Structure 1
Amino acid sequence: MRLKVILPDQILVDEEVKGVVAEAEDGSLGLLPKHIDFVTALVPGIIAFQSAEGEEFLAVDGGILVKCAADVLISTRKAVRSRDLGGLSRTVQEEFEALDEGERKTRSILAKLEADFTRHFLEMRLSG
């Protein structure tokens, strides 16, 4: 069975696997090569799969999983791959901290833009 994990800017995984375990909105699911075809929404969590090198893990922030014939396609906005589940947890934590810092900076910039817009609007109103 072929697993393909697609991110907005890259293909993270594209290889043969023996099985996939993922977390959908209605619970955990296991996929083997002869599993029926279907589509499901994934929740943020861990996807486990058996590659040629052994068990590997992906942390995903949700997405869509499509099982079609011998292909398992996963589309997600963000994912991190690792063979070490503990290390994956640390990496995900670091990623979230970086995202949080980026969000703080973005919110600060937006607040300044809103304040400038409001100030200019009031100046125009007072002068007119």
Structure 2
Amino acid sequence: MNMAQYMSVSLRLPTRLLFEGRARRLTAVAPNGAFGILPNHVDFVTALVPSVLTLCLDDGAEAIFGIDEGLLVKKGHSVSVAVLRGVQGDDLDSLQHTVEARFVQMDEEERQARSALSRLEADMVRRFADLQRPAP
């Protein structure tokens, strides 16, 4: 068996790549509790809950991310994480403030997008109703 010292990790958002690099350890939180992954961990898939995801990078530094719900897939020496929302922080204190500010902003943007979509759907329904009316 190939005993790796690190694993390739990618952390993706719907619109961009938040992190890609090598890590010696990953910790995250699934619906049934916190867990850790080392490079030679067995392959698996799990859902993630809103929490803090930490990486011990191959240079010994630590990277921390505030994430929303998502999915983690470990296969071989690669870990792919896809989350709805996420931000990177320097430490837990600054991460909390960043998460609060960014997620509130994202919530407002999502609310505006949902409102615009609802208006478009209502307009389309009205136009179809107009097409079904008999011509005078």
Shift of 1:53: 5.6
Partner secondary structure for residue 33 of structure 1: coil
Structure 1 runs (4+) greater than 6 angstroms displaced = none
Q: Cα 1:83–1:64, aligned 2, differ >3 Å: closer, same or farther?
A: same
Alignment correspondent of 2:108: 101
Structure 1 residue 24 corresponds to structure 2 residue 30: yes
Find the counterpart in structure 2 of residue 70 from structure 1. 77
Name the counterpart of 2:48: 42
Matches within 5 A, 1:110-125: none
The answer to whether the aligner puts 1:9 opposite 2:15 as a matched pair is yes
Q: Deviations over 1:43-102 (max 9, x none)?
A: 111101111261111111111001111111101121101221111100011013223433
Residue ranges of structure 2 left out of the alignment (5+ in a row):
1-6, 130-136
Q: How many residues align?
A: 126
* Structure 1 residue 61 corresponds to structure 2 residue 68: yes
% identical aligned pairs: 34
Taking the aligned partners of 1:103 and 1:57, their CA distance within structure 2 comes to 25
Residue 107 of structure 1, CA deviation: 7.0
Alpha-carbon separation, structure 1, partners of 2:112 and 2:16: 26
CA-CA distance at 1:103 after TM superposition: 5.2
TM-score by length of 2: 0.74
Structure-1 separation of matches of 2:31 and 2:80 = 17
Assess, with a 3 A threshold, how the Cα gap between structure 1 residues 104 and 41 changes in structure 2: closer, same or farther: closer
Partner AA of 1:77 in structure 2? L
What's the C-alpha RMSD, in Å, of the aligned pairs?
2.8
